[in-house]
Chain A
Amino acid sequence: MRDHEETWARLPSSPSGIDRAGITVRELGGLSQLLVSGEIGKAARLAGIDGTGVGALGSASGERYAVRVARDRMLIVATAALSIGDGWHEDGFAVTAMSAGLTVFEIGGDLADDVVRRATTLSLSNPGPCAATRFADINGFLYRHEGALRLHVDRGLAAYVWQWLETLLGLMAAETADA
């Protein structure tokens, strides 16, 4: 069996962030995240948020909002713990906690859209109502929050996304230097 101990470096214990090529990347910890399916409007009302949810590259704001990730599914994101319990709700929706399951990255800076062009096939002018997309060849949710991009990815692949972004921004920085 191939020895992969050296292939993948130790996980960064507390990533310090990237600031290159006019783009900043940092990991956002401490967000509450609930995956809700079914009657998402009713779940949104229970959470006190708009049930439409932001789509790909859509703009969210505030401390509590919804991200639309499928026709009948949304991710509720909040800075504080949410009171909606896990499991099936008689109002017709299912809830699963994903606060630890999805790692959240914030990508900011004037050139942040250049990352979108390289990491996704999204149309910047008409990205669509669903925030679920492929980012760097893995599944993720991508939208904007108060100007910066927010990306939610599977926790197990967060180290890969971090490394991917470091590599990309290195290329973009070199290109800027050459120019």
Chain B
Amino acid sequence: MTSFRVDTPRIDRRHPLPFSFDGRTVEGYAGDTIASALLAANIPVVGRSFKYHRPRGLWGFGVEEPNAFVDVTGPRSLVNARATTEQLVAGMDVRAVNASPSAAADRNAFIDRFARFIPSGFYYKTFMWPDWHMFEPRIRRMAGLGTVDASQSRPLHAEQVNEECDVLVVGAGPAGLFAALSAASAGRKVILCDDGFEPGGSLLHRNARIDGLVGIAWVSKVLAQLARAGTRVLPRTTAFGIYDHNLVGLNQKGVGNAPDRLWRVRSAEIVLATGAIERPLPFASNDLPGVMSAEAGLAYLRRFGVVAGQRIVVAGNNGTTRETVEAFRRVSEVVEVDYRAGARIVGVRGAGRVESVELADGSRIAADAVLVSGGFTPTVHLYCQARGKLRWDEALLGFVARDKLPQFSIVGAADGCFDLAQAFRSVEAALKSIDCASASIPDTEAADVAYGIVAAWPQPKMKGRVWIDLQHDVTAKDVELAARENFISVEHLKRYTTLGMATDQGKTSNLNGLALMGQLTGRSVPDVGTTTYRPPFTPVPFGSLAGLRGGVLFNPPRRLALENRHRDAGAHLREYGGWLRPAWYGEDAEADAVQREARQARQTAALFDGSTLGKIEVQGPQAAEFMDFVYYNTMSTLQPGRCRYGFILGESGVVYDDGVLVRIDANRFIVSCSSSHVAGVHAVLEEWRQDRFDRKRLFIHNATAETATLTVSGPSSRQLLEQAALGISFDDTAFPHMAIAWGSFEGTPVRATRVSFTGDRSYELSIRADHAAGLWDRLRQLGSAIDAVVLGVEALMVLRAEKGFIVIGKDTDGMTRPMDLGVSAPLAKKKVEFIGRRSLFTEEAQRPNRNQLVGLEVMDKGGPLATGAHGIERSGAGKRSIGYVTSSYFSPTLDRPIALGLIEGGATRHGEVIEVQHLGAVRPARIAPPCAFDPSGERLNA
């Protein structure tokens, strides 16, 4: 037995919490973290190192912990959780990461024996031939952190809260509490966050008397005052990043099984009271389990009643270990190694955990725990993220903030003020700088010991393996190797050795690494510099970042007004361009149903829900001029009550969208764009309106959602609609193709537009979306008498392909100009400027052998060509792609396969037979006109 538990009022030992660690049942208590429970259970090895699989014990007690990473299942599921910052919950199944079957008996521990052969840079140099990817999977399996359990369900939905305040105080230690209290007393709206389970910071484990109260009591008093002032106090909350305009990201750990919560706080002022992180001391085998931060040892003792060992060596190069020595003398044998008095540890020994300490004078001390302090590094991450620059403080041997940033203050230990009185004074100064009178500075009676740090940096050529970065297995020798190979820039040092790259981001290791590199290259630490601080300060769960955006709440499709009607009709719903739409109807297999619908649509009539088509209104005296500019085709000549098909191009001349433009009256058009392009076309229109036209004479409204559009198509469509009592004459003279007519259905206006995407006579009926169900029901009822069919999107795709009608993005690509689709006249004849015009005159746009839209006739019995199959051309150099199949179906009406494709120079190659290759199989196909059905267009009026 080495580490053990003693009574403390902070841990209720009447209520044990059983859990398992690496399969072994362990008992902790309410108030424990996983780490404190493991330490109390005398489990020295809590993890394995990243690279060499060295046994590792606890180093810290908070976010700085580099060793104790665990995967947790059970009541709360976590991956790569720090054991020091996870509260114990009964029933947890805790497993050390990167260890199999357990941290204590890891089967990959043998790797450490070959450590001398695999120093930093080994992978870069070794696994170059034949291909790194051959080795990568195995290496990644052997070296890594936690494992995501793919069988687990996705994370719980997490809340994301946006909050604003006058002052955000990060850190609820003594300085943070005093800052929050002062700001709140001055009437400011304050948010106080702290990554601990409860506010108090160092006062939770260090002795102090403040205003006559012991530290803990003072904390309680301040919290009560803050509560009365309405201050929001967020425990378990890490400020992980600062972004533009003082936006600070906070992650609040959930309690029990509750998910974490993300806070986005916008604060007028930020006060950083984030404290400081203790550094290790460099000596041989300083990674052995049992070597622990002195501050952590004191925290485990006083917060959790856990004693790190029975024979403890406390070693430090500063005054903060004085209290630690005195505290442990009451419960253990303690030997102090005071670096300030010239003593030095040169190494520790032990099998699996510390057994003895070797000093520079050659003496040896039997010990089962070594509590070390190499000084403190102020936690300035958020300051640096906010573009703050650091200054080296020779007295503190650490970096501190150099300049005061606007709306940003640093107080307490984060500003290098390591005694209470000094910390409170720093708060007073900070608040004064933001015109916020502080409360009177509390009287402190702490036996403040002078920090009085002396240097104890790692030295070149130290004996043994001196660990710099515990999490990423970087030793002093690795840093020396980097220096020898001239990776002496701090950024190169980081990338070559991976120093500071792990999930702990070098919180304990960076400064020792910089100091050693400085000595190796004859530079001071500030000359070596620091790497860039970036968010997050600590890892943030993906669930927290995702918030509610998961499952059905992630990228939801739009829903049709008639969706339930379609469901009732047996629709199979699929997502098309951001809409949930009927793909086909009925119980038949998809292929059969699509063929049935397409065949029947040509024979009688088809009912189709085209509500997703864009309905973007363009209004104003400049509307006609604007439409001319937006469309490739001339649109200003369009008469009111008529419509015209056209292309919208991008500035590069590539076809961006196609559709029908409806002119309602002289000053009002409706752009009926592709369903999936509504938002994009709307943005294009608005952009050009604002950039080029009179913003007082031209306006654009997206009214797509206002109306449902019900399409009736097929040879019997007119017959069906004439019975619908819409008050519209469907006579071809009164209502010709590409015209509109107005009527009504049960008092609701209906706009009928005679356009066709099937090649058959077709009518689109637009009606208020909330009144569409009645009209749909009427059409279904009338349709049943003539054997009309409800048409899904898939069958519509067959019908339009028979006619050679394109779908933008399917039958076009990012190179397709309108001439490639056989539409050249506007370029030759249109007199006014339009989007993309100049690009159409480039050499590339005019190149004769561009990929052009064609039909492809199958010449064998192999069924439809594969969509995406390439047309190929053979030459001495092998095969070359000459384009590809864009759409391919079996036409039930033609009783043969049909296809569309983009083929090099295709417009002039009709009748030519080419080879089409797919997955190695080559088939012949004849180039044909795109339109395979009713090329004369007679059925439009049939």
A interface residues (Cβ-Cβ under 8 A, vs B):
1-5, 7-8, 10-11, 13, 35, 37-39, 72, 87-88, 92-94, 96-102, 117-118, 120-125, 136-137, 154-160, 163-164, 167-168, 171-172, 174-175, 178
CB pairs A–B below 8 angstroms (23 shown): A2-B574, A4-B557, A4-B580, A10-B563, A11-B559, A37-B619, A72-B696, A88-B665, A88-B667, A94-B620, A96-B701, A98-B706, A99-B706, A100-B770, A101-B707, A117-B161, A117-B163, A118-B160, A118-B161, A157-B558, A159-B559, A160-B552, A167-B157
Residue of B nearest to A122 (CB): B162
Taking the closest CB of chain B, its distance from the CB of A178, in whole angstroms, is 6
Taking a contact as CB atoms under 8 Å apart, the answer to whether A101 and B164 are in contact is no
Taking a contact as CB atoms under 8 Å apart, the answer to whether B703 and A98 are in contact is yes
A96-B706, A155-B561, A178-B256 as given contacts; A88 in contact with B164, CB under 8 Å: no
Residues of B with C-beta under 8 A to A2: 574-575
Digitize B643-679: 1 where CB-to-A-CB distance is under 8 Å, 0 elsewhere: 0000000000000000000001101100000000000
Residues of A with C-beta under 8 A to B567: 10
Residues of B with C-beta under 8 A to A174: 258
Residues of A with C-beta under 8 A to B558: 154, 156-157
C-alpha spacing A39/B696, complex, angstroms: 8
List residues 546-570 of chain B with CB under 8 A from any CB of chain A. 548-549, 552-553, 556-561, 563-564, 567
A88-B667, A94-B620 as given contacts; A8 in contact with B552, CB under 8 Å: yes
Q: Does B11 contact A (CB under 8 A)?
A: no
Residues of B with C-beta under 8 A to A94: 617, 619-620, 668, 699, 701
Residues of A with C-beta under 8 A to B548: 136, 164, 167-168
Taking a contact as CB atoms under 8 Å apart, the answer to whether B706 and A100 are in contact is yes
Residue of B nearest to A156 (CB): B558
Residues of A with C-beta under 8 A to B76: none
Residues of B with C-beta under 8 A to A137: 549
Residue of B nearest to A120 (CB): B162
A37-B699, A101-B705 as given contacts; A3 in contact with B574, CB under 8 Å: yes
Taking a contact as CB atoms under 8 Å apart, the answer to whether A121 and B162 are in contact is yes
Digitize B687-717: 1 where CB-to-A-CB distance is under 8 Å, 0 elsewhere: 0000000011101110111110000000000
- Specify which of B580, B665, B699 lies most central, judged by the most chain A CB atoms within 10 Å of its CB: B699
**Contact among B557, B768, B770 for A8, CB-based, below 8 A:** B557
Other CB < 8 Å A-B pairs besides A72-B695, A88-B667, 5 of them? A100-B561, A118-B160, A120-B162, A156-B558, A175-B159
Q: Does B266 contact A (CB under 8 A)?
A: yes
**Contact among A120, A122, A175 for B258, CB-based, below 8 A:** A175
Residues of A with C-beta under 8 A to B667: 87-88
Q: How large is the interface on B (under 10, 10 to 19, 20 to 34, 35 or more residues)?
A: 35 or more
**Contact among B266, B552, B563, B700 for A123, CB-based, below 8 A:** B266
Residues of B with C-beta under 8 A to A92: 696-697
6 pairs of A and B residues whose beta carbons are closest in the complex: A156-B558, A101-B706, A94-B619, A101-B705, A88-B667, A37-B699
Q: Does B353 contact A (CB under 8 A)?
A: no
**Contact among B258, B697, B700 for A178, CB-based, below 8 A:** B258
Digitize B597-635: 1 where CB-to-A-CB distance is under 8 Å, 0 elsewhere: 000000000000000000001011101000000000000
- Specify which of A87, A97, A101, A171 lies most central, judged by the most chain B CB atoms within 10 Å of its CB: A101
Q: Does B583 contact A (CB under 8 A)?
A: yes
Residue of A nearest to B611 (CB): A156
A2-B574, A98-B703, A118-B161 as given contacts; A156 in contact with B579, CB under 8 Å: yes
**Contact among B163, B560, B619, B665 for A156, CB-based, below 8 A:** B560
Taking a contact as CB atoms under 8 Å apart, the answer to whether A87 and B706 are in contact is no
Residues of A with C-beta under 8 A to B620: 38, 88, 94
C-alpha spacing A175/B572, complex, angstroms: 38
Taking a contact as CB atoms under 8 Å apart, the answer to whether A4 and B769 are in contact is no
Taking the closest CB of chain A, its distance from the CB of B923, in whole angstroms, is 25
Q: Does B771 contact A (CB under 8 A)?
A: yes
Taking the closest CB of chain A, its distance from the CB of B794, in whole angstroms, is 9
Taking the closest CB of chain B, its distance from the CB of A147, in whole angstroms, is 22
C-alpha spacing A163/B556, complex, angstroms: 10
Q: Does B573 contact A (CB under 8 A)?
A: yes
A7-B552, A37-B701, A167-B548 as given contacts; A100 in contact with B564, CB under 8 Å: no
Digitize B734-777: 1 where CB-to-A-CB distance is under 8 Å, 0 elsewhere: 00000000000000000000000000000000001111000000
Taking a contact as CB atoms under 8 Å apart, the answer to whether B553 and A167 are in contact is yes
Taking the closest CB of chain A, its distance from the CB of B594, in whole angstroms, is 12
Residues of B with C-beta under 8 A to A10: 563-564, 567
C-alpha spacing A10/B559, complex, angstroms: 10
Taking the closest CB of chain B, its distance from the CB of A94, in whole angstroms, is 4
Residues of A with C-beta under 8 A to B583: 1
Residues of B with C-beta under 8 A to A1: 574-575, 583
Residues of B with C-beta under 8 A to A175: 159, 258
**Contact among B553, B697, B703 for A96, CB-based, below 8 A:** B703
List residues 569-592 of chain B with CB under 8 A from any CB of chain A. 572-575, 579-580, 583
C-alpha spacing A4/B404, complex, angstroms: 55
List residues 124-147 of chain B with CB under 8 A from any CB of chain A. none
- Specify which of B161, B255, B549, B770 lies most central, judged by the most chain A CB atoms within 10 Å of its CB: B770
Residues of A with C-beta under 8 A to B255: 178
Q: Does B264 contact A (CB under 8 A)?
A: yes
Residues of B with C-beta under 8 A to A93: 699
Residues of A with C-beta under 8 A to B704: 101
Taking the closest CB of chain A, its distance from the CB of B796, in whole angstroms, is 15
Residue of B nearest to A159 (CB): B559
Taking a contact as CB atoms under 8 Å apart, the answer to whether A5 and B164 are in contact is no
Taking the closest CB of chain A, its distance from the CB of B814, in whole angstroms, is 23
Taking the closest CB of chain A, its distance from the CB of B92, in whole angstroms, is 18
Taking the closest CB of chain B, its distance from the CB of A144, in whole angstroms, is 18
List residues 250-307 of chain B with CB under 8 A from any CB of chain A. 255-256, 258, 264, 266
Taking the closest CB of chain A, its distance from the CB of B557, in whole angstroms, is 7
Taking a contact as CB atoms under 8 Å apart, the answer to whether A87 and B258 are in contact is no
Taking the closest CB of chain B, its distance from the CB of A32, in whole angstroms, is 11
**Contact among B553, B664, B699 for A164, CB-based, below 8 A:** B553
A94-B619, A101-B706, A178-B256 as given contacts; A11 in contact with B553, CB under 8 Å: no
**Contact among B159, B559, B623 for A172, CB-based, below 8 A:** B159
Residues of A with C-beta under 8 A to B621: 88
A5-B572, A163-B553 as given contacts; A123 in contact with B164, CB under 8 Å: yes
A4-B574, A94-B617, A168-B159 as given contacts; A157 in contact with B556, CB under 8 Å: yes
Residues of A with C-beta under 8 A to B768: 97, 99-100
C-alpha spacing A160/B549, complex, angstroms: 11
**Contact among B162, B700, B769 for A101, CB-based, below 8 A:** B769
C-alpha spacing A2/B619, complex, angstroms: 39
Residue of B nearest to A5 (CB): B573
Taking a contact as CB atoms under 8 Å apart, the answer to whether A125 and B580 are in contact is no
Residues of A with C-beta under 8 A to B164: 123-125
Taking the closest CB of chain B, its distance from the CB of A140, in whole angstroms, is 12
Residues of A with C-beta under 8 A to B619: 37, 87-88, 94, 96
Residue of A nearest to B794 (CB): A1
Taking the closest CB of chain A, its distance from the CB of B918, in whole angstroms, is 19
A87-B619, A101-B769, A178-B258 as given contacts; A171 in contact with B574, CB under 8 Å: no
Taking a contact as CB atoms under 8 Å apart, the answer to whether B573 and A4 are in contact is yes
List residues 393-421 of chain B with CB under 8 A from any CB of chain A. none
Residues of B with C-beta under 8 A to A100: 561, 705-707, 768-771
A98-B703, A123-B266 as given contacts; A11 in contact with B564, CB under 8 Å: yes
Taking a contact as CB atoms under 8 Å apart, the answer to whether A38 and B699 are in contact is yes
Residues of B with C-beta under 8 A to A124: 164
- Specify which of B558, B667, B695, B705 lies most central, judged by the most chain A CB atoms within 10 Å of its CB: B705
C-alpha spacing A7/B550, complex, angstroms: 12
Taking the closest CB of chain B, its distance from the CB of A7, in whole angstroms, is 6
**Contact among A35, A154, A164 for B701, CB-based, below 8 A:** A35
Taking the closest CB of chain B, its distance from the CB of A35, in whole angstroms, is 5
C-alpha spacing A37/B557, complex, angstroms: 28
Taking the closest CB of chain A, its distance from the CB of B800, in whole angstroms, is 18
Residues of B with C-beta under 8 A to A121: 162, 264
